[in-house]
Structure 1
Amino acid sequence: MIGKGKSIAHTGTSIDYGWNQEKDAEIVFSQHLAGNSPQDITEEFKLIQEENTRCQKNTLSFILSPTQEDGRNLSKERLGELTQRFIKEMQLKERQAIAFVHRDKAHTHVHLYVNRIGFDGKAYNDSFIGKRSQLAAENVAKEMGLTTVKEVQMEKEFETTKVRLEIKDIHRYVMDSIRPKTLDSYIRAMQERNVEVIPTINRANKLQGFRFQYEGHNFKASEVHRSMSGGRIMAQLSRNNGIAKPKEIGKSVQLLGKTVELGTNLATSIAKNIIKKTVKRAIDTGIGI
């Protein structure tokens, strides 16, 4: 679950948004309030806020977002419990508050509004409220057996690692088995295996590198693996084409029927990688003698 929080000045507008019936809004929590319309609630907030006119951002606005799966399974009552626990974590039990659930998007989420001004006229300290909101949401998620942000991040990292490895394996197969000699043939071979190679062209119409798109993920070439940087890919294509010396590398390349110049950094990287491979081959040959 994700928790976001901030102080706002537009109390009435925000509560009206939270109560928006077009978003299938339902009240899941309310404390120290008697009204039954956005206007009534706003007026009740203002009665207390008049005790502290120095505070301009006098309402606290929070969004509590469970994961998609958790959100689908949370009843109105459980969402109310979630909100109540969050309020306790944030030490806001003695303040006016109202919360609405919105189920209009894939993610069920709760909009919570709390009067920043207490019954004693003092303003709630909102220092680092964004970070504190996230920590409170983490604690509530653990207490209620819901998925935490850290768990979501771990799942995403596992998924992206898996996808990167698959792209790397496809790239290696294409380079080792098909051995394309041109950039276009490499792009086609990768596309036939559902990996889209996206050339990165700068404003000067020069090729700088590549991105890879696969199964809804999009990575820079070097993010997939360091062996897949633009310089290494182009160097290997050059070697497949019989080019073994940096001085033989052209300043441009054919890309989808057009001639595109190589960016300076990419050209330098290609030359360095050809030199490294040549030196390595020489060393390996010498060791084999």
Structure 2
Amino acid sequence: MIAKGKAVSHGKTVIEYVLRDKKLGDFIDKNLLTSERPEEILQEMRWMQRHNTRCKNKFLRFEIGIAPADRNKLSDGELMLIVHDFTRKMELTNHQWFAVTHKDTNNLHIHLIANRIGLNGKVYQTDFVSNRASRTAEEISREIGLTIANKVVAKKKYQSPKADKTREAKKNEVRKIAYKLLGEKVGTGKKGFLAFIGELRNHGIHIETMRNKQGTAYGFRFLYQGETFKASEIGREFGYRSLFRQFGLEDVKPQIGKTAVPIYSPQTQELTQSTFDTIFNITTEFSSGIGNLLNVHGEDYAETAFQRKLRAEQKKRRGRRM
């Protein structure tokens, strides 16, 4: 079983699509709704959404796919139990939702549409919602003995099952720690980014910058207990640009040249919190943005100091005129 999800604004289009006669299979169940008709469901959800006018993407759309090998194992009642378990684990109990199956393909899949505004008027947090949906589907699959999507892969002949299990266990540890720390630091800027790296290191997880032959940074890799994982193995949020974007640092650009300093290198001296603070204080004075975190030695400190002094003099002059 596999699942994905996202927040959307076009609720009317989504609800009408999901409940279209040509596609609709079975109506599995609904929560906090009285109708099964598209226009009436939309009206009920919009009535609830009046309690929060600031939210833009007010609907949640989930798709849950069932492996072909499991299709004949599941009755309608078991599909209902899967949906209820999924919504409970995704903390949607106090939100309006409905779930249906589609018959437009040979692969059994469930569409679940939920109201992002809950009974208390609060907005459902969608940080990493698709990843959480995927992990929830994997957890349910393990509990009831269904096929797990990421296990349907041919194993390479040179990989032993024991080694695979060890590596997967370590990767899951890294993913769990990384997502937990990232969730606490989202949107906290440069200082939060440095704190995130430092806390990962405290857990024994180190990050290296990956570079191509031209020396341009293009990604990260995670080192943990003798294993190396590409950022894509940990999660989409940990890509080179994606990771900076989580901290509100969209202006980061790939750094070129061997003078660039990696976020972490096993050969470098361990950084203390005061060192992180020092790096932060320096980088905040640079005009070129967070990119300098990876290239702090490439700056002309004398020129930076001169420009700072010049701006201070200009402010004094403007003050005298007033």
TM range, smaller chain: 0.5 to 0.7
Residue 29 (structure 1) shift:
1.6
Question: Which amino acid is the alignment partner of residue 97 of structure 2?
Answer: A
What is the aligned partner in structure 2 of residue 92 from structure 1?
Answer: 92
The one-letter amino acid of 2:148's match is T
- Structure exhibiting the larger radius of gyration computed from Cα positions: 1
TM-score w.r.t. structure 2 length?
Answer: 0.47
The question of whether the paired residues in 2 share the 8 Å contact of 1:99 and 1:111 is answered with yes
Q: Does 1:70 align with 2:67?
A: no
Deviation at 1:76, TM superposition (A): 1.8
2:60 alignment counterpart: 60
Alpha-carbon offset, residue 161 of structure 1: 5.5
CA contact under 8 A between 2:18 and 2:24: conserved in structure 1?
no
Structure-2 separation of matches of 1:161 and 1:8: 43
Partner of 2:132: 132
Question: Contact 1:18/1:25 (CA < 8 Å) preserved in 2?
Answer: no
- Structure 2, unpaired ranges of 5+: 159-322
| Cα deviation code 1:243-277 (max 9, x no counterpart) | xxxxxxxxxxxxxxxxxxxxxxxxxxxxxxxxxxx
Does the aligned pair in 1 maintain the 2:3–2:65 contact within 8 Å? yes
1:88 Cα offset (Å):
0.7
- Residue 69 of structure 1: how far off its partner (Å): 1.6
Task: Please name the residue that 2:41 is paired with.
Answer: 41
1:1-289 aligned at under 5 Å gives the runs 1-152=1-152, 156-158=153-155
Please list the CA deviations of residues 132-167 of structure 1 after superposition, one character each: whole Å capped at 9, or x if unmatched.
010111111112211112322xxx223x769xxxxx
The code of the aligned residue for 1:131 comes to: N
Decide whether the 8 Å contact of 1:72 with 1:108 is kept in 2. no
Cα distance in 2 for partners of 1:15, 1:71 equals 25
1:105: Cα distance to partner? 1.0
8 A Cα contact 2:69 2:147, kept in partner:
no
List 4+ stretches of structure 1 deviating above 6 A.
none
Structure 1 unaligned segments of length 5 or more: list them: 163-289
Is 98-107 or 43-52 further displaced after alignment? 98-107
Cα pair 1:11 1:59 within 8 Å, conserved: yes
Contact 2:95 2:119 in 1 (8 A): yes
Contact kept, 8 Å, 2:95 with 2:114, in 1: the verdict is: yes
Amino acid at match of 1:37: R
RMSD in angstroms over aligned alpha carbons? 1.6
- Structure ranking higher in strand proportion: 1
How many residue pairs match? The answer is: 158
Moved more, 17-26 or 36-45: 17-26
CA–CA distance in structure 1, aligned partners of residues 41 and 69 of structure 2? 32
Q: Does the CA contact (< 8 Å) of 2:24 and 2:100 recur in 1? A: no
| SS of the residue 1:84 aligns to | helix
Query: How far apart are the structure 2 equivalents of 1:120 and 1:24?
Result: 31
> What TM-score, normalized to structure 1?
0.52
Q: Secondary structure at the match of 2:154?
A: helix
Letter in 2 for 1:105: T
Cα distance in 2 for residues equivalent to 1:113 and 1:32: 12
Contact kept? 1:19, 1:26, Cα under 8 Å: no
Q: Aligned equivalents of 1:71 and 1:105: distance in 2? A: 13
Q: Report the Cα offset of residue 36 of structure 1.
A: 2.6
CA shift for structure 1 position 114? 0.8
Check the 8 A contact 1:29/1:99 in 2, yes or no.
yes
